[in-house]
Structure 1
Amino acid sequence: MSSSSSPLWLWLWCFFIIAISPSVESRGDGDECWGRRIHIRKLPPRFNLDLLRNCSQFRPIYPSFCPHLANHGLGPTTHNRTLSWHRTDPSMLELLFHRRLLDYPCLTPDPLLADAIFLPYYSSLDALPFLFGPATNSSPFHGLPLFDHLTRIHRPDLWLRRGGHDHFLVMARPAWDFSQSPDAEPLVWGTSFLKLPQFYNVSALIIESRPTPYQEQAIPYPTSFHPSTPHLLHSWIRRVRRSRRTTLMLFAGGGGSIGSNPNIRRSIRLECNNGIDRANYDDDDDDDDNVYYEKVCEFVDCSGGVCEHDPIRYMRPMLETNFCLQPPGDTPTRRSTFDSFLAGCIPVFFEDLSARRQYGWHLPEEEYGEFSVTIAKEDVVWDGVRIVDVLRRIPEEEVRRMRERVIELMPRLIYRKHGVSSNVGWGGIKDAFDIAVEGVLERIRNRLLKFNYSA
């Protein structure tokens, strides 16, 4: 889709951004916004809106993301009658977050009054030429035009006064895609954005972080559920609670074909194929407390991305399952982790990098045993540990407690629909966006103190 055929909503979005950005006032009075003021820095359209207009530029190597732009990044609704369910693509997190921030109650048009400065830079979309286009051998240049704009062209004083420590942005691809060494040989995957010293001081909210860099913080993948009112959220929670769980465990994903080399996904596929019809599974202990399951393992084949924009394909089976398996794939984390929370399906992790060492703002690290199960992937792949045996040994009462904790955490992991100014109207319920904003403000505050920058 070229810019000449851009849909009406995209032009309205452009007008909305232009109209609101210079005029948003700091809402809230007195101390309500103390330490919470955010300024959205003005960037030329080539860093955001122009990238949306070029949504089909890299076909067929990279699919068009034009359909996913609808509803300010939420995507089109799954069906006409729904108010909350969308075909959301994770790559739209930057647009989705930007739109939500425009509703933030403590925006300030004066950057000198801001406690943090947001860069509305759609970095993952700007990375596409380096990942799939003609600039694949020029990855160290990704982000340099932005740095030049921030430090030389538009208000360089805003960057220099705190060394960029008060700036933050959102990145809708795993950090792996931005972590190529600037000195790497050509054709190595990724760009060098997170390796460039120019951006070391910027806080990056990213869907998957690396284990050590201080500037990165993982925030949840967007799911397909975006309620616009607390009533819609609570209505869904009631449905999750009353769901009848007739399956022990489920894996929704691809990979792990039977002929592949040993890996955790292959082990899961083998175990599922061997036990899927054994509804009367006997774990060889005579514990009368074991629950009878109609199905031991459900496998939802998502190969080829068929599940990516079709939540009905996996959400219904998840609602009928007690445990959702979350093995790592090309990278440690999965969007499916957050889908399982949404369905009240207890996640089963196979390495700490899949969640425990990622989402510390949203999932309390010290409580992982209360809402998830961890089984070392090495034990499964090489030592013959059967996942079904581990899960069947968990008492039914403990399973109920874990599921209730999963449901309690659910609101923290979804991105509600834009148009609500704060969580006050939600009875104080905070969603993934609210918690991410609180976290980045606290991080920036601590860094400014550490490096003795004045407020």
Structure 2
Amino acid sequence: MKEKEKSTLKTLALCKSHQIWQMHIFPLLISSLLVSLFLLFLSYSSCSSCSSSSSSSSSSLTLSLSAAAHSDPCSGKYLYIYDLPDKFNAGILRDCLAMFPWVDMCPYVANMGLGPHINETGSVLTETGWHITNQWVLEVIFHNRIRQYECLTDNSSQADVFFVPYYVGLDTGRKLWRQNISLQERDSLLVEVMQLLKSRPEWLAKGGRDHFILSGRATWDLRREDDGGNQWGGKLLTLPEVKNMTVLLIESCPWENDNEFAIPYPTNFHPSNESQVVTWQAKVRSTNRPWLFSFAGARRPGQAGSIRDQLFDQCLKSTRCKLLDCVSAGSNCDIPVTTMSLFQSSSFCLQPPGDTPTRRSAFDSMLAGCIPVFFTPHSAYTQYKWYLPNNYSEYSVYIPDNEVREGRVSIEEVLLKYSEEEIGNMKEKVISMIPTLIYKDPNYKLDSVRDAFDVAVDGVLRRVKSIIGN
């Protein structure tokens, strides 16, 4: 066979072979490839579905947990009360005869700290909710109120804040006038309770930053620097450990420590239901006020810088001022009916500093719907920031004490510049603040009214959250 023919036959054979591959083998390969791709697609779809299902399940779980947290009204508000030996609280009350050398405190620490009921209210007070309450017993009232807090927990690992029920103000106060007691003995219970706290895992977890304590005395009674000489007060506020805590007091030192917060002095009104609050507000709103201004107190002739002599003199010279001299015979300033009658009959009530910048009388007067007149910012404006409006002119009048001391201002002339409308608006603001300036009766649960205790606990929770987070 010629070479050309052989070549032609070879080419034909190759072409035939290729044709056979195209006709039979190639379709099989394509089919196999398509099946493989289809199976791969199914596998991918299945995995995507699994992933989507897993993601969906995870999201659902997250949403469920979030919903569960939001459905718990106590989330972020759980409070744990230390169960201290009673020598730190109830035992101190049993020593009530020794609390003050000139006052029998036993009747005042009774009845959960509210003191005796007032039965003779006359036309001055409403019929229920009134007690003779001492200004130094807030620790007792607060401790009994906190036992009714709606978000208490016995599980310390669940707690957001921790309360230390040590009556440090009453404990320190009962030792201040004892001549035969050393400064170390004065602070013995304080040192002991701090050692107890520092040994607890609850304290060690955050170094006490989620703990708080309360004192019914002013800051100046609890900041002794050292144990030398015959110094005044205890040293609660100078202890390094306490600087981590939140400390509630009836008067703070805001320019010294940022962990001190002032809460209202206790008044004599402790309602047990909402209607008592509403009835009292209606009463002071409608009462007749014949006096432009008034002052209840005593002169302080030996107190450097005091303006009380000037207040006495200005009030006595004015026909628009009513004076209650608390050192004169028969003044009865310790009887709530007497002081509340004065405050209810006045549009403005003078509130100068006493032994310290703040006064319980300021809260008594506001309870009566009387507009307070302050003479130093430290009587209210730098103190009760959780309670009083930032714009102090909404509810009070400020007259600088140096202008009074130097005789450069007439209090009557300042107050006469306020119109009836302005006085009415300020009085209404004061009356609207009454619920959060009083402490409810701890014997009753009163969810419909938020009182000074509720505001204090909310403030502590906010502060702890800002320091350590959720």
Q: TM (normalized to structure 1)?
A: 0.82
CA distance in structure 2 between the partners assigned to 1:342 and 1:115 by the alignment: 33
Task: Determine the structure 2 residue equivalent to 1:95.
Answer: 140
Of 109, 112, 131, the match for 1:72? 112
Name the residue aligned to 1:135: 181
1:113 alignment counterpart: 158
Q: Which has the higher helix share?
A: 2
Q: Cα gap change, 1:313/1:116 in structure 2, threshold over 3 Å: closer, same or farther?
A: same
2:221 matched residue in structure 1 = 177
Cα distance between partner residues in 2 of 1:149 and 1:361: 31
Partner of 2:336: 311
Equivalent pair of 2:99/2:170 in contact (CA under 8 Å): no
Matching residue's letter, 1:231: S
**Number of residue-to-residue matches in the alignment:** 393
Q: Displacement of 1:412 after TM fit? A: 1.0
Asked whether 1:380 is paired with 2:400, we answer: no
Matching residue within 196, 205, 221 for 1:149: 196
The alpha-carbon deviation at position 422 of structure 1 amounts to 5.2
Deviations 1:194-241 (A, max 9, x none): 111121111111000012211110000010011111111111111101
What residue number does 1:434 align with?
454
Cα distance change on mapping 1:171 and 1:339 into 2, 3 Å: same
Compare CA radii of gyration and give the structure with the larger one.
2
Q: 1:311 to 1:113 in 2, by over 3 A?
A: same
Q: Distance in 2 between matches of 1:263 and 1:129?
A: 27
State the secondary structure of the residue aligned to 2:350: strand
- Number of the residue aligned with 1:299: 323
CA distance in 2: counterparts of 1:160 and 1:262, whole angstroms:
46
Aligned to 2:431: 407
Determine if contact 1:256/1:266 at 8 Å carries over to the other structure.
yes
Does the CA-based 8 Å contact 1:338-1:413 persist in structure 2?
Answer: yes
CA distance in 1, matches of 2:263, 2:358: 11
Show CA shifts across 1:334-380 (max 9, x none). Answer: 00111111111000000100000000001122x21011000000011
Which residues in structure 2 correspond to 1:32-47 (within 5 Å)? 32-47=73-88
Give, in angstroms, the shift of residue 62 of structure 1: 4.8
2:348 corresponds to which letter in structure 1? F
205 and 262 in structure 1: CA distance in 2 versus 1, 3 angstrom threshold: closer
Alpha carbons 2:99, 2:105 under 8 Å: kept: no
Distance 1:261 1:177 in 2: 19
Instruction: Give CA deviations for 1:126-166 in whole Å, capped at 9, x if unaligned.
Output: 113541223353356561111111123xxx21111010111
Does the residue aligned with 1:106 lie in a helix, a strand or coil? coil
Following the alignment from structure 2 to structure 1, what is the Cα–Cα distance between the partners of residues 414 and 95?
Answer: 49
Alpha-carbon offset, residue 179 of structure 1: 1.0
- Classify the secondary structure of the residue corresponding to 2:97: coil
Asked if the contact 2:254–2:260 (Cα under 8 Å) also holds between the matched residues in 1, the reply is: no
Partner residue in 2 for 1:163: 207
Structure 1 position 446, deviation (Å):
1.1
Runs (4+) of structure 1 moved beyond 6 Å? 259-262
Task: Evaluate the alpha carbon distance shift between residue 314 and residue 340 of structure 1 in structure 2; reply closer, same or farther with a 3 A threshold.
Answer: same
**Is residue 414 of structure 2 the alignment partner of residue 390 of structure 1?**
yes
| Residues in 2 aligned to 1:260 and 1:226: alpha-carbon distance in whole angstroms | 34
Correspondent of 2:233 among 190, 194, 198: 190
Give the 3-state SS of the residue equivalent to 1:56 in structure 2: helix
Q: 1:236: which partner in 2?
A: 280
Post-superposition Cα deviations, 1:401-448, rounded to whole Å, max 9, x if no partner, equal 11011111111101111244453xx1xx31111111101111111111
Among 81, 85, 95, the residue aligned to 1:54 = 95
State the one-letter code of the partner of 2:80. H
- Relative distance call for 1:66 and 1:234 in structure 2 (3 A) is same
Measured after TM superposition, the shift of residue 298 of structure 1 is: 0.9
Matching residue within 348, 362, 367 for 2:373: 348
Instruction: Report the secondary structure of 2:114's partner residue.
Output: coil
Matched, 1:249 2:297: no
Question: Structure 2, unaligned stretches of length 5 or more?
Answer: 1-68, 122-126
Does the 8 Å contact 2:251/2:263 carry over to 1? yes
Q: Normalising to structure 2: TM-score of the pair?
A: 0.80
State the alpha-carbon separation in 1 of the partners of residues 324 and 87 from structure 2: 40
Cα contact 1:58–1:132 (8 A) shared by 2? no
How far did residue 112 of structure 1 move?
0.9
Rounded to whole Å, the distance in 1 between the matches of 2:430 and 2:375 is: 18
CA distance in 1, matches of 2:291, 2:459: 37
Q: 2:252 aligns with which of 190, 199, 209?
A: 209
- Asked whether 1:446 is paired with 2:447, we answer no
Contact 1:127 1:142 (8 Å CA) reproduced: no
Asked if structure 1 preserves the Cα contact closer than 8 Å seen for 2:88 and 2:189, the reply is no
Identity across matched positions, percent: 40
Encode CA deviations 1:105-133: one digit per residue, 9 max, x unaligned: 10000111000001111111111354122
Structure 1 unaligned spans of 5+: 1-27, 279-295, 450-454
The residue that corresponds to 2:357 in the other structure is: 332
Cα distance change on mapping 1:98 and 1:255 into 2, 3 Å: same
State the one-letter code of the partner of 1:216.
E
Other-structure match for 1:23: none
Deviates more, 1:139-148 or 1:353-362: 139-148
Give the conservation status (yes or no) of the 8 Å contact 2:245–2:259.
Answer: yes
**C-alpha contact 2:246 2:260 (8 A) present in aligned 1:** yes
CA distance in 2, matches of 1:144, 1:308: 38
Aligned to 1:358: 383
| Counterpart residue number, 2:53 | none
Please give the root-mean-square deviation of Cα atoms over the aligned residues, in Å.
Answer: 2.1
Q: Please give the secondary structure, in 1, of the residue aligned with 2:98.
A: coil
Distance 2:209 2:202 in 1: 10
Matches of 2:218 and 2:323, distance apart in 1: 25
Mapped partners of 2:363, 2:244: distance in 1: 29
Tell me the secondary structure at the aligned position of residue 71 of structure 2: coil
Question: 2:104 is matched by which residue type in structure 1?
Answer: S
Report the more deviating stretch, 304-313 or 392-401.
304-313
